[in-house]
Amino acid sequence: MAKLKSCPFCGGKAELFKHRSFGQPDYGSYSVACGTYDCIMSDGGSSYATKHEAIEAWNRRRKENGNELWQ
Ligand SMILES: [Zn+2]
């Protein structure tokens, strides 16, 4: 599985979250957000059906919005 890259905005540690929907015990969705409380990326944004998709999307967003100074 792809590794989570650091936050493009603050360089903080990114975290993977699992969400559940009420009444649907088998249903889960994943999103990635910055672990820094007041960071612009801490709201998590979109959620995805699989961990892999969530991680890929985070890393892609990082590439689009961040710059490669943060490794
Ligand atoms: Zn951040």
pTM for the whole structure: 0.71
Q: How far is the CA of 20 from the centre of ligand 1 (A)?
A: 24
Q: How many CB atoms lie within 10 A of CB 37?
A: 7
pLDDT tens per residue, range 14-45:
999 887 766 665 567 888 999 998 998 887 66
- Containing 21, the helix (H) or strand (E) segment is strand 14-21
Predicted local distance difference test score (pLDDT) of residue 20: 72
Q: How far is the CA of 60 from the centre of ligand 1 (A)?
A: 15
Q: How far is the CA of 18 from the centre of ligand 1 (A)?
A: 19
pLDDT band at 49 (very low <50, low <70, confident <90, very high): confident
Contact 43, 58 (CB under 8 A): no
pLDDT tens per residue, range 2-16:
789 999 889 999 999
Alpha-carbon span 14 to 10, nearest angstrom? 10
